[in-house]
Amino acid sequence: MTTARGRFITLEGGEGTGKSTQVRRLCAALEIRGIAQTMTREPGGSPGAEDIRRLLVDGEPGRWTPLAETLLLFAARSDHIAHTIEPALAAGRWVVCDRFTDSTYAYQGMARGLARETIRRIEAVAVGKFTPDLTLILDLPTDQGLARAAARGPAESRFEKFDNGFHESLRQAFLDIARRHPERCVVIDASGSAEEVAGRVWAAVAARFRIT
Ligand code: TMP
């Protein structure tokens, strides 16, 4: 008997939208229903990609050009797919990933100005046609997201240090991605308590995969 392939779900959104909390809650909700799952994140998710993550998140905001940053991100992603995501899906596990390629289009593309076509060409080489089965875009007004991120303590990532305009472009970039890919993306209102947002996330997952 062949094992049914798992589903690949990604969560996306700007800083402070609560993605990491929702990734954990979604994994718990799948577990309760007897669905084996792997929780992972980008940049990172495999030993090699975690090494590359440190190069990306440490240091000054302008450390990398958008192109160099994008090449590093796709090097990490290629390793992550080969060593973590693909083996899990092939074994029938569902994979819930905190950020994926949409983050590169939003951060390096729209917010940092690298041409979409450049990203598309790198993506074609590094990732091919591999895309999520479902992408949940957590959406929150920029000031609320930054306030939540600030409440976590000093900026932990190089990307949180960019200015407000950067974060507003990011929000618009994710909403634009959702408009371009309505078959894959669902925008989730990320305001309110973690509990309320988790309810919206689960409703979207259950509807997409017809889980009762
Ligand atoms: P995190 O804060 O969600 O852990 O992500 C780390 C940082 O990496 C975050 O500020 C967003 C950034 N990032 C990109 O700029 N491009 C990407 O493709 C990914 C996956 C993350």
CA distance 92 to 79: 20
100 within domain boundaries: yes
DSSP assignment letter at 59: S
Mean pLDDT to the nearest integer, 59-68: 90
CA 77 to each of CA 10, 100, 104, 125, 162: distance values in angstroms, whole numbers, following the listed order: 13, 8, 11, 12, 23
29 within domain boundaries: yes
Distance of CA 107 from the midpoint of ligand 1 (Å) = 8
Please work out whether the CB of residue 73 comes within 6 Å of at least one atom of ligand 1: yes
Atom number, ligand 1, closest to the C-alpha of residue 98: 3
For residue 138, give both structure tokens. 């957590």
For residue 85, give both structure tokens. 């995501």
Distance of CA 212 from the midpoint of ligand 1 (Å) = 33
- Strand 134-139's sheet: what is its strand order? 37-41, 94-98, 8-13, 134-139, 185-189
Pocket test for ligand 1, best of 159, 161, 166 (most atoms within 8 A of CB): 159
CB 120 within 8 Å of CB 180: no
Mean pLDDT to the nearest integer, 126-144: 96
CA distance 189 to 138: 6
Please tell me the predicted confidence (pLDDT) of residue 151: 86
2 within domain boundaries: no
**Which of 44-48, 82-86, 97-101, 150-154 is least confident?**
150-154
Return the HEC string of 28-45: HHHHHCCCCEEEEECCCC
Percentage of the chain exceeding pLDDT 90: 83
Phi, psi of 34 (to 5 degrees): 75, 20
Please tell me the predicted confidence (pLDDT) of residue 208: 97
Please work out whether the CB of residue 40 comes within 6 Å of at least one atom of ligand 1: no
Element (H, E) at 12: strand 8-13
CATH assignment of the domain containing 184: 3.40.50.300
Please tell me the predicted confidence (pLDDT) of residue 60: 85
Please work out whether the CB of residue 123 comes within 6 Å of at least one atom of ligand 1: no
**Which of 13-22, 55-64, 194-203 is least confident?**
55-64
1 within domain boundaries: no
119 within domain boundaries: yes
Give the domain range for residue 81: 8-209
Task: Report the first-to-last Cα separation within the chain, whole angstroms.
Answer: 25
Please tell me the predicted confidence (pLDDT) of residue 115: 97
113 within domain boundaries: yes
Please work out whether the CB of residue 42 comes within 6 Å of at least one atom of ligand 1: yes
Please tell me the predicted confidence (pLDDT) of residue 185: 98
Distance of CA 100 from the midpoint of ligand 1 (Å) = 9
DSSP assignment letter at 46: S
Phi, psi of 175 (to 5 degrees): -65, -35
pLDDT band at residue 212, thresholds of 50, 70 and 90?
Answer: confident
Please work out whether the CB of residue 75 comes within 6 Å of at least one atom of ligand 1: no
Distance of CA 179 from the midpoint of ligand 1 (Å) = 21
CA distance 149 to 27: 22
Atom number, ligand 1, closest to the C-alpha of residue 112: 15
Mean pLDDT to the nearest integer, 67-81: 98
- Residues whose CB falls within 8 Å of the CB of residue 58, separated by 6 or more in sequence, listed in order: 158
Q: List the residue whose alpha carbon is closest to atom 10 of ligand 1.
A: 159
CA distance 147 to 127: 34
120 within domain boundaries: yes
Please tell me the predicted confidence (pLDDT) of residue 136: 98
Total domain count, the chain? 1
Average pLDDT, the chain: 94
Find the radius of gyration of the CA atoms of the chain.
Answer: 16
- pLDDT tens profile 154-208: 766 666 667 788 889 999 999 999 999 999 999 999 999 999 999 999 999 999 9
Please work out whether the CB of residue 171 comes within 6 Å of at least one atom of ligand 1: no
Please work out whether the CB of residue 74 comes within 6 Å of at least one atom of ligand 1: no
